Amino acid sequence: MGTAMDETLEFQPRWGADGLLTAVAVDAASGDVLMVAHMNADALAATLATGEAHYWSRSRRELWHKGATSGAIQRVVEIRVDCDQDCLLLRVEPVGPACHTGRRSCFYRRLDGGRLEMTGDAA
């Protein structure tokens, strides 16, 4: 292994050219992946200040407090940072579904060959 380990304890987010970090939300109790979204500096600051997940909506181009209109908030238990500091893992306690379809997780389909099929986690 020729790669040096990065074990710095200083938080230095590596924002993408678009000013965003990928954020993966997982259920803190089960470890199930709930959703993938993005954060800009304002979303990260709001998340840290409130303890509830905030994201940057790329489609609406605005700060998005998860659950502000639906009530399906995500209480942040822990934030982990990947080795390159360009991705965050949010361990959350979800209050309601994570997906805009009303499903618990956005990952309710699997790829089988070239087709999608439901996983059984549809509700």
Query: Which of 72, 73, 54 minimizes the C-alpha distance to 64?
Result: 54
Residue 104 CA to its chain's centroid (Å): 14
- pLDDT over threshold 60, residue 2: no
- pLDDT over threshold 60, residue 44: yes
pTM score: 0.89
CA 25 – CA 22 distance, rounded (Å): 10
- 3-state DSSP call for residue 26? strand
21-96: what fold?
A: Ubiquitin-like (UB roll) (3.10.20)
Q: Tell me the pLDDT band of 120, cut-offs 50, 70 and 90.
A: confident
Residue ranges per structural domain of the chain:
21-96
Position 61 scores a pLDDT of 93
In sequence order, the β-bridge partners of residue 89 are 24, 80
Position 7 scores a pLDDT of 81
Tell me the pLDDT tens digit for each residue of 7-36.
Answer: 889 999 999 999 999 999 999 999 999 999
